[in-house]
Amino acid sequence: MSERGRSDRPDKKADDDGEKLIADNRKAWFEYEILEKFEAGIVLKGTEVKSIREGGVSLRESFCKVFGAEIFLWNAHIAPYSHRGSAEHEPTRTRKLLLNRREINKLLGKTIEKGLTVVPLRMYFKKGRIKLAIGLARGKNVRDKRETVRRREADRETRAAMKVRTGR
């Protein structure tokens, strides 16, 4: 039992910094070169929060757009809550992100000026709130993607060789 009287379940444990990963957009790391990261809050409905707690979220095809002084998350799929009554949300609706004005202005300027894009990287709980890590990114070309795959395979082979050598 923890200090607050709740049992510490291993499946609900948080990282050392108090963050618990909900969803990870691994495809974004492969498709884009991430130049800068930001942490954003997200405006959600009650059934969306409950569904996210169940793990019903996918960031795979989602993206962010800046409109005026606001930034929105598009195409993120949050599954309908399994125990809902009559209340229901649209799974891929547009959701507003919460950032400081200067961060939004910075993102807007870089996307217009340099042709960069804003992609969601991961969704996580931080101190009981749902946060979204977004990144300012530049699209990779095919050559860069091949290089990433080559580097990943070389690292995998090196780890396997070290494992055999040490006998683990």
Plot region of 167 (φ>0 → left; ψ -120 to 50 → alpha; else → beta): left
Can you point out the beta strands (E) in the chain?
Answer: 19-24, 32-42, 57-58, 63-67, 70-74, 77-78, 95-98, 117-126, 129-139
With a cut of 90, say whether residue 47 has pLDDT above it: no
The larger pLDDT score, comparing residue 16 to residue 32, is at 32
In the prediction, which pLDDT does 2 show?
46
| Predicted TM-score (pTM) above 0.85 | no
Distance of CA 135 to the CA centre of its chain: 9
Please write the tens of the pLDDT for every residue from 100-129.
Answer: 999 999 999 998 888 899 999 999 999 989
Looking at the DSSP assignment, which residues form a beta bridge with residue 101?
Answer: none
Other Cβ atoms within 10 Å of 94 Cβ, number: 12
Domain spans of the chain, in order of start: 18-141
**Sorting pLDDT into bands at 50, 70 and 90, what band is 41?**
very high
Longest alpha-carbon distance in the chain: 60
Mean residue pLDDT of the chain comes to 85
With a cut of 80, say whether residue 6 has pLDDT above it: no
With a cut of 80, say whether residue 153 has pLDDT above it: yes
* DSSP secondary structure letters along 90-103: -TT--EEEE--HHH
In the prediction, which pLDDT does 94 show?
92
In 5-141, where does DSSP find H-type helix? 26-31, 46-53, 101-113
- Average pLDDT (66-89) is 85
- Average pLDDT (12-38) is 82
Closest by alpha carbon to 59, among 112, 135, 129? 135
CATH homologous superfamily, domain 18-141: Small protein B (2.40.280.10)
With a cut of 60, say whether residue 3 has pLDDT above it: no
The whole-angstrom separation of Cα 72 and Cα 59 is: 13
**Sorting pLDDT into bands at 50, 70 and 90, what band is 13?**
low
- Average pLDDT (121-139) is 93
